[in-house]
Amino acid sequence: LRDLMSDADVVVQNLRHRALERLGFSFEDLRRENPRLITCSITGFDPDGDMASRKAYDLLIQAESGLCSITGGPDEPSRVGVSVVDIATGVTAHSAILEALIARGITGQGMAITVSMFDVMADWLTVPLLNHEGGRTPKRVGLAHPSIAPYGVFETKDGKQILISIQSDREWSKLCERFLGDVSLSHDPRFASNVNRVEHRDVTDKIVAEAFLQRSSDQALADLTKADVAFALLNDMAGLSAHPELRRISVETPNGPVTYPAPASRFDGVTRPVGPVPELDEGC
């Protein structure tokens, strides 16, 4: 391991607090031996804080950071449906390492980076935190928006669920004219501005829901398209699997080819190679 790190560009570790040091690999020593080395330690909490030794997993940080308190419906908190803390921490570490690589290209020196999972989620929760500290603690509203209306899921007469997002008073006017069929609603004092619509959310949503129930899903989608407002089908994994926008790649594995979603980034004029998954111990 020391040989590997002696000429490595980057070392990333997420072992228990000070575990690498106990194995005899302090980052200070490693960087003395390899001054260009960039180290990235991923921790649960501040490595110098009172919670440094606590175990940390994705859902634990979702709970500790307060993320669960604003996730889910009104009745109870919930976890985010993917391991958002793990993913966000990896993305943050990746970004920091790229920044350190650019700096090393200028200074010739490596850098020690620490990324805590709690810090990452606190950063992502800046807006709800500031709302709370400003006297407007966010509430769980399920598939709705706490400060925009109408913004939520509505059911068509054939049982399909569609989510709409009205982002401006201009869009509300379009919805009233081309979907709700009542232009006067755009001037009604209860609905004339987003603040008014949020204040009268129950009535606003009731009017929109009745318009959806008069249409099949196909009719609703066509009319929403004509109204030029934002909408989406409320899909499940079966809907994603069959979605026309889903790009896939095929990867060879020891058990046969596997297809899964393609990487999101695309480079103009470049086809990115996708190699096979190696056999266990292959290349060792």
Catalytic amino acids?
86
The structure tokens 């606190």 sit at 122
In three-state secondary structure terms, 249 is strand
Nearest-angstrom CA–CA distance, 264 and 245: 12
Phi/psi at 102 (5° precision): -65, -45
- Distances 268 to 234, 247, 271 between C-alpha atoms, Å: 32, 16, 8
- Amino acid identity for residue 14 in this structure: N
**Residue 9 is encoded by which pair of tokens?**
């560009």
Instruction: Assess contact for 193 and 145: CB atoms under 8 A.
Output: no
d(CA 226, CA 57): 46
Q: What Cα–Cα distance (Å) separates residue 90 from each residue in 14, 52, 95, 102, 238?
A: 11, 19, 9, 19, 28
Q: How far from each other are the two terminal CA atoms of the chain, in whole angstroms?
A: 14
Q: How many CB atoms lie within 10 A of CB 224?
A: 21
User: CA 266, CA 58: separation in Å to the nearest integer?
Assistant: 29
- What would you report as the CA-atom Rg of the chain, rounded to the nearest whole angstrom? 25
Instruction: In whole angstroms, give the CA distance from residue 117 to residue 127.
Output: 18
